Amino acid sequence: MSAAILTFALGYAQLVLSLAACVAGVRILRGPRAQDRVLALDALYIIVMLVFLVTGMQLGTMFFFEAAMIVATMGFVSSIALAKFLFRGEVIE
Amino acid sequence: MTPLAAIPLWLALPIAFLVMLGATLTLIGAIGFLRLGNFYDRLHAPTLATSWGMGGVVLGSLLLATQVEGRVILHELVIAFAILITAPVTLMLLGRAALHRDRSEGSTQLPDALRHRRSSETAENSESDE
């Protein structure tokens, strides 16, 4: 019983999160200006991190947790670098 | 699926609820991100994913890992903590960058009150603007 509930919940979460990732991808393609695309990329990083966490729960391995942590950290660094780039036109002064 | 079958029902229900709540809130945030018309409105939509969207999935993952391993596992809180701290920094910086770009291009999308720098802001920005 609990296996069925968890399988359904994790499958639903994977489906819904991948839909959300597609929606963020549409915004990356459509975004009228550069800041919209950077914002969409930041949202996409978070959504992909959540997909990794849910997949890790489904497969019961620690591997996806470490991947999710790296995605979260690198997403922050890249978003900050892109935001700095939008400010000045260069990242390192 | 053997590890999932060993979870007791009283724990499986809250885990399923938290994970589904987190995923649904993330999708709602993403849809808002697509539908809102202005960049400054859109800036608010991903916060749904970074607050309870992330919180629900992380709490569910934490409960599941704790039950499966048979000891208290708090690794997931590291991710939650990192996202909670970094998301506002990113959004704040992006908002400032967009405001800077809109002002320097004289965009008509900005409300009148934001179109020109206030005097306190000019003093703070003048050293960093060279």
User: Are residues A17 and A54 in contact, defined by beta-carbon separation less than 8 angstroms?
Assistant: yes
> Does A42 reach chain B within 8 Å, measured CB to CB?
yes
ipTM score assigned to the predicted complex:
0.88
Residue B90 counted as domain residue: yes
What local confidence, expressed as pLDDT, does residue B127 receive? 46
Rounded Cα gap, residues B56 and B58, in angstroms: 6
Tell me whether residues B12 and A6 touch, CB distance under 8 A.
Answer: yes
Give me the pLDDT at residue B75, please.
Answer: 86
Q: Is residue B115 part of a domain?
A: no
Residue A72, both tokens: 């979260």
Number of structural domains in chain B: 1
Crossing angle (nearest 10°) for helices A2-30 and A34-59: 160
CA atoms of B5 and A2, how far apart (whole Å): 6
Q: Residue B22 falls within a domain, yes or no?
A: yes
**B116 within some domain:** no
Find the residue in A nearest to B40 (Cα). A36
For A91, list phi and psi in degrees, rounded to 5: -90, -45
pLDDT at B129: 46
Domains and CATH numbers, chain A: 2-88 (1.10.287)
Give how far A41 is from chain B: nearest CA, Å: 11
Residue with tokens 């709602």: B28
Partner-chain residue, chosen from B34, B83, B101, that has the shortest CB–CB distance to A35:
B101
Q: Which residue of chain B comes nearest to A73, CA vs CA?
A: B82
Distances (CA, A) of B94 to A91, B74, B120: 14, 31, 21
A2/B8 Cβ within 8 A: yes
Q: Does residue B111 belong to any structural domain of this protein?
A: no
Say if B77 is an interface residue toward chain A (CB within 8 Å): no
User: CA separation (Å) from B6 to A53, A62, B10, B57, B96?
Assistant: 20, 18, 12, 20, 50
B2 assigned to some structural domain: no
| Chain B contact for A28 (CB, 8 A cutoff) | no
Q: Cα distance from B88 to chain A (closest Cα, Å)?
A: 10
* Separation of alpha carbons B51 and B88, rounded Å: 10
> Which residue segment(s) compose the domain that B31 sits in?
7-104
Residue B4 and residue A60: Cβ atoms within 8 Å? yes
d(CA A23, CA B81): 26
Residues contacting B93, CB < 8 A, separation 6+: A80, A83, A84
Q: For the purposes of burial, counting CB atoms within 10 Å of the CB of A43, is it exposed (0-12), middle (13-18) or buried (19 or more)?
A: buried
Whether A66 contacts chain B with CB within 8 A: no
Per-residue pLDDT of chain A (93 residues; tens, 9 = 90+): 888 899 999 999 999 999 999 999 999 998 788 889 999 999 999 999 999 999 998 888 888 889 999 999 999 999 999 988 888 776 665
